[in-house]
Amino acid sequence: MPSSNSGQITTIERHILDQQHHYPDASGALTNLLYDLALCGKIIASKVIQAGLMDVLGKTGLQNVQGEEVQKLDEFADETIFKLNDHTGRLAVMGSEEHDEIIPIPKKYKTGKYVLLYDPLDGSSNIDVNVSVGSIFAIFKRKSPEGTPGTLEDVLQPGRDLVAAGYIIYGSSTMLVYSTGQGVHGFTLNRMLGEFLLSHPNIRTPEKPKYYSVNQAYEPYWSPGVLRYVRYLQTGEGEPEKLGLSLRYIGSLVADFHRNLLNGGLFCYPADRKDPKKPGGKLRLLYEAAPLAFLAEQAGGAATDGRQRILDIAPASLHQRVPLYIGDKKLCEKAEQYIQKYDGAGA
């Protein structure tokens, strides 16, 4: 049952409504948008837990704009989030990992004041082998005039302007973790009730990190600064005592991030020379790095691309990739120091 010591049961709807009173001029649109995303999470979760039994496993045979194989569950999650949000009148425009361009609100529906960016299913390569996957969402206020079609400019906003962000993780249990800038709160899906119940109020990432997460196979492609930094994570060189970190990396950003958020740690996906087309690493700014950076900072952690705060990066394109170091604040600062010292001022 929920860990809140009062023993009371708080549904996510109740919690979101309570958050609303921090915003006197709130119209309820953001509250309802967050409700809708919680419903998306329930629907996607219902498919993920049956994945082995229904025809949602495997690949569609298609490739997305990223040049990646689209899994059936990617497509299902993408359609679910779009269809639950395209007609509500709360959004001006959407952006998804699975769509080359921004997704307009169909002309027959009213537009609203928010912008939704999402990675419908993160960690897709893990679906068929029953490893946790997730969905990530980021919410901005539109910049273009109300009542007009949303624009690319509405989408290309720095993470510091996020009004809300969160993820749903489909693991041993289904959890929704979100923040509207008033701390980070975790809810666990009670399948009997069909409700997300508050289980992790006010998440703060532990002072002492336990894990570091990186794909060690890419070591031959890292810069000198990244090599020295990962070595530091392993040896704690220069520290009065060993860092004592264990390596945990399961190839699902949401799952690796969630574990490190709760237990303390640092996830990094550095820039590498593996693929000349992706010099900035693999992860995307708008619907992976920035929303998780928002949560990390709200929980007392940090997120950097190795040179600057993730939330300060002004996106130039919808699928822009960035190197990502996220989680423990001191270990993020160390990443910047090593890269500055051994890779120079750099680009």
Residues at the site binding ligand AHG, with contacts judged by CB under 6 A: 68, 97, 119, 122-124, 215, 251-253, 282
State which residue, 90 or 319, has the beta carbon closest to ligand AHG: 319
Query: How many Å is the Cα radius of gyration of the chain?
Result: 20
Minimum Å gap between C-beta 281 and ligand AHG is 9
String of DSSP letters for 234-281? HH-TTSSS----EE---S-HHHHHHHHHHH-EEEEE---SS-TT-TT-
Query: By the 8 A CB rule, do 159 and 290 touch?
Result: yes
Q: Which is nearer to ligand AHG, 2 or 281 (CB)?
A: 281
Which of residues 229 and 267 has its CB atom nearest to ligand AHG in the complex?
Answer: 267
Burial of 194 per CB tally in 10 Å (0-12, 13-18, 19+): exposed
Q: Which does 305 bind (CB under 5 to 8 A by kind): Mn ion, ligand AHG, none?
A: none
206 binds, among Mn ion, ligand AHG, none (CB under 5 to 8 A by kind): none
Cβ within 8 Å of residue 323, ≥6 positions away = 268, 269, 270, 271, 280, 281, 283, 305, 306
Judged by beta carbon distances under 5 to 8 A according to partner kind, the member of Mn ion, ligand AHG, none in contact with residue 195 is: none
| Two structure tokens written together for 320 | 């822009």
Q: Which does 68 bind (CB under 5 to 8 A by kind): Mn ion, ligand AHG, none?
A: ligand AHG
Angle of CA points 317, 184, 267, to nearest 5°: 60
User: Minimum CB separation from ligand AHG for residue 2, in Å?
Assistant: 28
The least distance separating ligand AHG from the CB of residue 215, rounded to whole angstroms, comes to 4
- Token duo for residue 83: 């269809």
Taking the complex as a whole, how short is the minimal distance between the CB of residue 64 and ligand AHG, in angstroms? 8
Residue 328 partner contact from Mn ion, ligand AHG, none using kind-dependent CB cut-offs of 5 to 8 Å? none
Q: Which residues bind Mn ion (CB under 5 A)?
A: 97, 119, 121-122
The residue type at 31: T
Q: What are phi and psi of 81, to 5 degrees?
A: -65, -40
Question: Smaller CB distance to ligand AHG: residue 141 or 274?
Answer: 274
Least Å from the CB of residue 227 to ligand AHG:
17
Q: Identify whether the C-beta of residue 304 lies closer than 8 Å to the C-beta of residue 310.
A: yes
Nearer to ligand AHG, 100 or 153 (CB): 100
